[in-house]
Amino acid sequence: MRRFARLYRELDRSTATLDKRAALVAYFREAPPHDAAWALFLLAGGKVAGAGRRIANTRELREWIGQAASLPDWLVDDSYDQVGDLAETLALLLDDPVAPADDISLAEWIERRLVPVANRDPAVRRALVVEAWASLCFDERLVFNKLLTGALRVGVSQRLVQQALAEMSGLDIARIAQRMLGSWTPSAQFLRDLLSPDELPSDRRQPYPFFLASPLEQALRPDTASEGTDTDADAAPDADAAAPVLANDPDAVARALGPIDDWLLEWKWDGIRLQLIRRGADIALWSRGEERLDGRFPEIEAAALTLPRDCVFDGELLAWRPGESAPMPFTALQTRIQRRKPGPKTLADTPVRVQVYDLLELDGEDWRNRPQAERRAMLETLVAQHDDPRIVISPRVDAANWAQAAALRADARARGVEGLMLKRADARYQAGRRRGDWWKWKIDPLTIDAVLIYAQAGHGRRSTLYTDYTFALWDGDTLVPVAKAYSGLDDREILALDKWIRAHTLERFGPVRSVTAHHVFELGFEAVNRSSRHKSGIAVRFPRILRWRRDKPIAEADRLETLRALAR
C-alpha cells in the first residue's frame, strides 16, 4: 500500500504529463505484479466498491469518523464542506498512529480485507474500516479512503497509463489498449498477458480501440491545433464561445485543412458507435463504452452472419424504419439498448440498422495502417456484395469546395444528423483521440435562455465550488427544470457565481442547494426529444452554458412551449 500511496502523492502533486508518466513507469517496474494489476485497474477507472459490493456509504463513513475522532456530526459536516473531498476529510480528521503497522500490499488490502467484508453487517464493515484508519499514516489512509469512496481522481487518463506501460514494455500502445477493452479481473496473470509480446488467443476476441474525432474548432484555433495531441474521451461538446464563428467560415476551414480533395466527407450520425465483428461463426457487437451488446440487436447479428468475408467494421447503430429518409430520434434507440432480449413488438416498433464507415480487419488481417481511402474502397465493395438493408454504408458527402460543405452542414439537422465528419484520405486508423486526421464539424447548437434554480458542488479541483447547475424554463407562472450543465463558464465567472449561490441559498437537499430565481443563462444543446421520464416532458442532449445573460431579467427567459416545439 505504501508504494501505491507514494505513486498517488506523486501523481497528485505533479502538473506535468511527462513527470506523471515517468512516475507511472517507475511504479510498474518496481511493484509486485499483483499490486501493479490492481493499480492499473484503479487508475483506469475501476472501483473496489460497486458491482454489487457495498463496503461503506457516505453516511456511514461520516458517522464512523465522528465516532473514531470523538467529533460531533456538525463538525464532520462542516469539515467536509470546507475540504470538498470526503476521502481527504476522513484522512485529515485522524492523527497518524504513534507506531505505524507493517506494510500490507495493495492486493491484500483489497482482496483479503475489503472485498470479504462487502455487504456484511454494518458492525463488521465498521470494524475493518476503523481499524485501518488507526493503523495507516496519512498518505496511505488517504488512498484507503479513496478505495472506499471510489473517487481516485488524480489527473491521469487511461491513455497516459497505457503510454507508461508501452514505454516500460516496448509493446505497441494499440495492443495494450485493445487488451484492456471490456471487463477484466486484476491479477498477476492478467498483467503478464497484457504485456506479452506474443499474439494471444484472447486477442482475436477483442475489438480494436476506437479512433475518435476532435471538434473542428480545435483545428481552427492555432493555440490548440497541434497534430497528434491526446485529449480525453468524449464528454460534452467542447468548443468555446468564439468557436462557432470560426466554424461557420469556409475560408478558415480551407486555411486549416487545405484542399477539400484531400478529405473524405461523411455525415455525423447520432446513434451508438460500435464495432461489428464477424470472425467465422462468432459475431460480436462492441459499443464504444467497451460493452458487448450480444442479444440486444439480434437482427444485426443475423445480418453479420451472412457477410461475404470475416471482417471488423466500425460504424453507427441507428433506429431507422425501412423506407424512411432519416433515422428515428436517439431516444428511440435507448428503448432498445436497455433490453437484453427484445421481443417481437420492440423489434417491430424500433427497427435498427448499422451505418458502417470503416474497415479495421479483413480475413484476419489488420487493416488499420492502410490509408483511409483504401479502407473505404474495400468497405464499399464488401457492403455492396452483402446487399443487406440492416448493414449499409455511410454515404459519402460530395462537395466541390469548403463553401459547399458548409452549406450542407447547415442543413444537417433537417436530415437527422449532427453535422459532418472530415477524414483525411491518407489517414490510418489510430487509437483514441489524435488530432489532425479525423475532425467532427458539428452543426451550431440549438439555444434557449434559462433560469438557474439549483446548484451542486463540482468534483476534483472544483469540489469546493458550486459548478453543477440546474436550469428551468417558464411553464405558465412556474419554473420547470429542463437541463443540467456544468461547462461553459470561465474561472472568474465560476467564482462570482459560487459567491452569489452561497449568499442566495433558499433550501438544501443533501449536496444540492435551491437558489433565488435571478440569473439567466444561454444554453446550447444538440437535440431535443420528447421524454416521459422528465417532468418537463422533453430531454435535451449535451446541454452546456454558452453565456451568462446578465442583461436579461428572468421574466424574459424562454418558455417551455418554445423548447417543446423543437422536440422530435
- Decide which of 103, 130, 149 is a domain's last residue: 149
Indicate whether 71 belongs to any domain: yes
Nearest of 35, 148, 44 to residue 91 by alpha carbon: 148
Q: Which of 125, 149, 173 is the last residue of a domain?
A: 149
251 in a structural domain: no
Same domain, 525 and 456: yes
Whichever domain contains 301, its CATH number is 3.30.470.30
Residue-level pLDDT at 120: 94
Q: Could you tell me the CATH number of the domain that includes residue 505? A: 2.40.50.140
17 with 82, same domain: the answer is yes
Per-residue model confidence (pLDDT) at position 125:
94
Is residue 198 situated within a structural domain? Answer: no
- How many structural domains comprise the chain? 3
* Cβ–Cβ under 8 Å, residues 209 and 366: no
Residue 191 pLDDT? 95
Burial class of residue 95 (count of CB atoms within 10 Å of its CB; 0-12, 13-18, 19+): exposed
- 76: domain CATH number is 1.10.3260.10
459 shares its domain with 557: yes
C-alpha cell read off for 58? 457516505
Q: How far apart are CA 467 and CA 454, in angstroms?
A: 10
In a domain, 17, yes or no: yes
The verdict on 489 and 380 lying in the same domain is no
Residue 491 lies in a domain: yes
In this structure, the answer to whether residues 451 and 382 fall within a common structural domain is: no
Same domain, 10 and 128: yes
Residues 386 and 486 in one domain: no
φ and ψ at residue 190, rounded to 5 degrees: -60, -45
Q: What is the 3-state secondary structure (H, E, C) of 290-348?
A: CCECCCCCHHHHHHHHCCCCCEEEEEEEEECCCCCCCCCCHHHHHHHHCCCCCCHHHHH
Residue with cell 479495421: 360
The answer to whether 130 and 64 are in contact (CB under 8 A) is: yes
* Tens-place pLDDT, residues 356-375: 999 999 999 999 999 999 99
Residue 419 lies in a domain: no
* Per-residue confidence (pLDDT) for residue 435, from 0 to 100: 87
Cell digits of residue 496: 462570482
Per this entry, what is the length of the chain?
Answer: 568
Residue-range definition of the domain harbouring residue 21: 2-149
- Catalytic residue (choose from 20, 146, 268, 440): 268
Q: What distance in Å separates the CA atoms of residue 182 and residue 203, rounded to the nearest whole number? A: 12
**What global pTM score does this model have?**
0.67
How does DSSP classify residue 48? S
Residues 357 and 467 in one domain: no
pLDDT of the residue at 365: 92
Which of 393, 420, 438 is a domain's end point? 393
465 and 371 in a single domain? The answer is: no
Count Cα neighbours of 509 within 13 Å in the Cβ-side half-sphere: 9
Give me 19's grid cell: 513527470
Judgement on whether residues 451 and 354 belong to the same structural domain of the protein: no
CA distance 2 to 31: 11
Q: Are residues 492 and 365 in the same domain?
A: no
Intervals of the chain under pLDDT 50:
224-244
Residue 183 lies in a domain: no
How many Å apart are CA 58 and CA 63, to the nearest integer? Answer: 9
CA angle 161, 164, 166 (to 5 degrees): 110
Q: Residues 304-327: pLDDT tens digits?
A: 999 999 999 999 999 999 989 899
Count of CB atoms situated within 10 Å of the CB of 364? 12
pLDDT in tens, 415-472: 889 899 999 999 999 988 888 999 999 988 889 999 999 999 886 566 678 999 999 9
DSSP-based helix, strand, coil % in the chain, nearest 5: 40, 25, 35
Identify which of 479, 407, 473 has the alpha carbon closest to the alpha carbon of residue 443: 407
> Cβ(247)–Cβ(405) under 8 Å?
no
Within this chain, do residues 530 and 469 fall inside the same structural domain, yes or no? Answer: yes
To which H or E segment does residue 459 belong? none
Identify whether 146 is a catalytic site residue.
no
Give me the pLDDT at residue 329, please.
Answer: 84
Establish if 547 belongs to a structural domain: yes
**Smallest Cα–Cα separation from 472: which of 464, 481, 463, 483?**
481
